[in-house]
């Protein structure tokens, strides 16, 4: 997709704009109150590490600090295939072996809202970005979600109700706000 427009009287063209927006949105870190973790994921984390889960991202190596061995289903990337992995005290693993950061409002819908903004102002862009909520959930939980691409067709960003999304898309997955895990 290419986009043409005027800026200060000059014509400009962007190509691959949806791809670029997708990459930018995936790097955007919303405010702390827009982060969640599944209750099961949090309980598992407390068995695996004494550190805060919020200090880790996908590619960080994590040392298993549990006293007892634990057997988990390990996913590689987006694959549906798993293999059992036994973690022993001192073993290393990656966060994305077991967890995924899920955009509760899918990125494709966010992009559609952004490219339809009228007028495009910093305030309007911020109001869309403020609707981004991230749920750190177990990959086993992620596989239970309904297809995540374009979950919210023809969305109006002003009417996004995160509670409705939680009650429908995330039904059966108990989520905790980040602040509830920082006691």
Using the predicted structure, report yes or no on whether residue 155 has a pLDDT greater than 60. no
Distance between CA atoms of 157 and 170, rounded to whole angstroms?
19
Q: Which residues pair with 176 in a beta bridge?
A: 37
Confidence band, pLDDT 50/70/90 cuts, at residue 17: confident
Higher pLDDT, 178 or 163: 178
Higher pLDDT, 161 or 171: 171
Q: What pLDDT, on a 0 to 100 scale, did the predictor assign at position 90? A: 97
Q: What does the pLDDT look like over 110-148, one tens digit per residue?
A: 888 888 888 888 999 999 899 899 999 999 998 888 665
CA trace torsion 65, 71, 72, 73 (10° rounding) = 150
* Mean of pLDDT values over 62-89: 90
Beta strand residue intervals within 34-75, DSSP E: 35-38, 61-63, 70-75
* Mean of pLDDT values over 10-24: 78
Helices (H), 57-158: 107-115, 122-129, 139-142
Using the predicted structure, report yes or no on whether residue 152 has a pLDDT greater than 80. no
Using the predicted structure, report yes or no on whether residue 8 has a pLDDT greater than 60. yes
* Mean of pLDDT values over 47-65: 93
Q: What does the pLDDT look like over 92-101, one tens digit per residue?
A: 999 999 999 9
**pTM of the predicted model, to two decimals?**
0.82
Helices (H), the chain: 17-27, 39-48, 107-115, 122-129, 139-142, 162-168
Q: What pLDDT, on a 0 to 100 scale, did the predictor assign at position 129? A: 92
Distance between CA atoms of 29 and 43, rounded to whole angstroms?
24
Token pair for 54: 């919020």
Token pair for 35: 């982060």
Q: What pLDDT, on a 0 to 100 scale, did the predictor assign at position 107? A: 87
């Amino acid at each position: 997709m290419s986009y043409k427009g005027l800026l200060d009287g000059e014509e400009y063209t962007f190509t691959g704009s949806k791809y670029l927006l997708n990459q930018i949105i995936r790097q955007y870190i919303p405010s702390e109150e827009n982060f969640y973790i599944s209750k099961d994921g949090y309980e598992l984390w407390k068995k695996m590490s004494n550190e805060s889960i919020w200090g880790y991202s996908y590619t960080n190596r994590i040392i298993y600090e549990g006293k007892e061995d634990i057997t988990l289903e390990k996913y590689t990337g987006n694959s549906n295939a798993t293999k059992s992995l036994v973690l022993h005290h001192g073993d290393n693993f990656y966060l994305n072996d077991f967890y995924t950061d899920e955009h509760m409002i899918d990125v494709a819908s966010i992009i559609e809202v952004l490219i339809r903004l009228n007028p495009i102002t910093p305030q309007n862009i911020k109001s869309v970005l403020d609707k981004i909520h991230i749920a750190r959930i177990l990959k086993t939980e992620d596989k239970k979600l309904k297809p995540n691409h374009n979950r919210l067709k023809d969305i109006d960003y002003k009417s996004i109700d995160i509670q409705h999304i939680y009650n429908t898309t995330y039904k059966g997955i108990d989520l905790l706000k980040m602040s509830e895990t920082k006691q």
